[in-house]
Amino acid sequence: MSEQSDLCATLSRLAGEGEENTIIAVAESLTGGSIAAALSRAESSGDWFAGGVVAYRPEVKHGLLGVPDGPIVSAAAASAMAESTARLLGADLVVAVTGEGGPQPQEDAPGTVWFGVCAHGRTETSKHRFDGEPSQIVEATTLHALELLVDGLS
């Protein structure tokens, strides 16, 4: 099994613990749906995975997800994406990602990624820098987002 599959299996087990399933959702920009695709392949995902919003263009982030004016690769953007997705999809736990895949910088250095995690109405953000080609940055971002979801359920 791959590391993604292992994390998703853990998520499936943890989300199903307790009296009710923990409902999980995602808000993605940089990863373009990679996190949602991984989650949808997990066992029993229909019981706990609500879905996701892929907001690639700034207009979608601002209009649909309430990202404030200013930089898209930021704590404020990641926080707004996570909180809006939790509300829109009725999720208990959401991870949001926004970042620079490269190879050319737009707002920040390639590999810069902001994560937002909204868990039961409480949101935290974190910034990470990943090295590599754009595809490697997307893969590392996807794995880290899955790790954050596992941490949110542990």
The Cα 146–Cα 14 span in angstroms is 13
Concatenated DSSP letters of 6-62? HHHHHHHHHHT-SSSPPPEEEEESTTTTHHHHHHHTSTTHHHHEEEEEE--SHHHHH
Q: For the segment 51-89, what is each residue's pLDDT rounded down to a tens digit?
A: 999 999 999 999 999 999 999 999 999 999 999 999 999
* CA 46-114-144 angle, 5° bins: 50
What are the φ and ψ backbone dihedral angles of 57, each rounded to 5 degrees? Answer: -85, 145
**Which residues have a Cβ under 8 Å from the Cβ of 149 and sit 6 or more positions away?**
7, 11, 24, 93, 95, 117
Contact present, 32 and 145 (Cβ < 8 Å): no
Three-state DSSP class for residue 126: strand
Q: How do the pLDDT tens digits run along the chain, 154 residues long?
A: 689 999 999 999 999 877 789 999 999 999 999 999 999 999 999 999 999 999 999 999 999 999 999 999 999 999 999 999 999 999 999 999 999 988 777 888 899 999 999 999 999 999 999 999 999 999 999 999 999 999 999 8
**Whole-number pLDDT of residue 20:** 86
CATH hierarchy code of domain 3-153: 3.90.950.20
Cα 26 to Cα 30, 51, 104, distances in angstroms = 12, 7, 26
Contact present, 100 and 109 (Cβ < 8 Å): yes
**Whole-number pLDDT of residue 75:** 97
**Whole-number pLDDT of residue 64:** 95
